[in-house]
Amino acid sequence: MQLLQIILDPTVEPPLLCPHCDGQTVEHRFFVGEERLGWGAVWCDTCNHGVQLSRVAVPTEIDAEPISSENSIPPFKIVTPT
């Protein structure tokens, strides 16, 4: 969950480190509706572990797609956030 806080901070520059494997290939995608509230996913392209998130308030400075978007996220092993 600390990584999510970093991602949602628009002042942070990549690379982000994966908390599972220390890889620098952390990706994220958010889908938002009204008032920029929506869902998203954070995953590592190196180890293929990640989390899906619901009811996330996404700041306007963070790229997000409409909640109705047909773009998907790649399959990954879902881990329990800590």
pLDDT digits (tens, 9 = 90+) for 34-75: 999 999 999 999 999 999 999 999 999 989 999 999 888 999
CA quadruple 68, 74, 76, 80: dihedral sign? negative
Q: What is the pLDDT of residue 1?
A: 74
The neighbour count for residue 28, using CB atoms within 10 Å, is 20
pTM of the complete model: 0.85
The span from the CA of 80 to the CA of 82, in Å, is 6
